[in-house]
Amino acid sequence: MARPVVLLLCCSLLLVASSSKWKAAARTVPVEYLYPPYNLTYFHFIDTNGVFLRSPNATFAAAVYTPASDTSGDTQTLFFFSVIHDASRTPVWTATDGATIVQSIVLSLTASGLALSDPADLSAPPAWSTPANLAAPVAAMRLLDTGQLTLLDAANATLWSSFDAPTDTLLPGQTLPVGVPLTGTVSDQDLSRGAYRLILTTTDALLQWRTMTSQLLF
């Protein structure tokens, strides 16, 4: 009668060993830097909740991020290219202009910059991209402990920064340039640009809803 016990013990050991191998095979998330060429789609890094780059102290992460929740009532899950506060999973910057990541969309880091595009339709413009004609070829993408995402050239000079293209959040140490808006999202589940935005002029702070403007007094 001892044999079934031995067999059960052997099966348990096999399950533990298999679990250990699976954990050991989990994808390692790069820290601080990514280098071109680099491509990913929405189903990459599923085992890391979409995170594909972390800042040195892991406060912030670059991720293919989904804000959907079980109680949202949404029937379609939306994915976005975002910088998030890792512990709270709160987005602090998002590639906007309706740049929802779907199955066919690829996020690419190349010498020309960052882009969200559909490789099945090369004639279509990217859903989102960093500005064309950067001052030099991109040598690396860097995520800082401040939450700032940057593109660097071979001399480590900044070619593009998420701090210069804010979405709906300002982080400590980040400034809002004159004429650059902070734009609210459609909803907590849809991070596309919404109807409200805050914009600074040389003399005022303006809150706009679509084409209507209100002056804010401080």
pLDDT for 7 beyond 50 = no
- Indicate whether 65 belongs to any domain: yes
- pLDDT band at residue 72 using 50, 70 and 90 as cut-offs: very low
pLDDT score at 102: 64
Q: Using 50, 70 and 90 to split pLDDT, how confident is the model at 70?
A: very low
In a domain, 77, yes or no: yes
What's the token pair of residue 165?
């293209």
Supply the pLDDT for residue 45: 82
Q: Which two tokens stand for residue 178?
A: 């004159």
Q: Is residue 127 part of a domain?
A: no
How confident is the model over 25-62, as pLDDT tens digits?
457 899 999 999 999 887 778 888 889 999 999 999 99
In a domain, 116, yes or no: yes
16 assigned to some structural domain: no
pLDDT in tens, 131-174: 999 999 999 999 999 999 999 999 999 999 999 999 999 999 99
Q: How many structural domains compose the chain?
A: 1
For residue 165, tell me if it sits in a domain.
yes
Q: With bands split at pLDDT 50, 70 and 90, how would you rate the model's confidence at 191?
A: confident
Asked if residue 139 is part of any domain, the answer here is no
Residue 126 falls inside a structural domain:
no
65 has which bridge partners?
Answer: 80
Q: Could you tell me the pLDDT band of residue 17, with boundaries at 50, 70 and 90?
A: very low
**Parent domain of 74:** 33-120+145-216
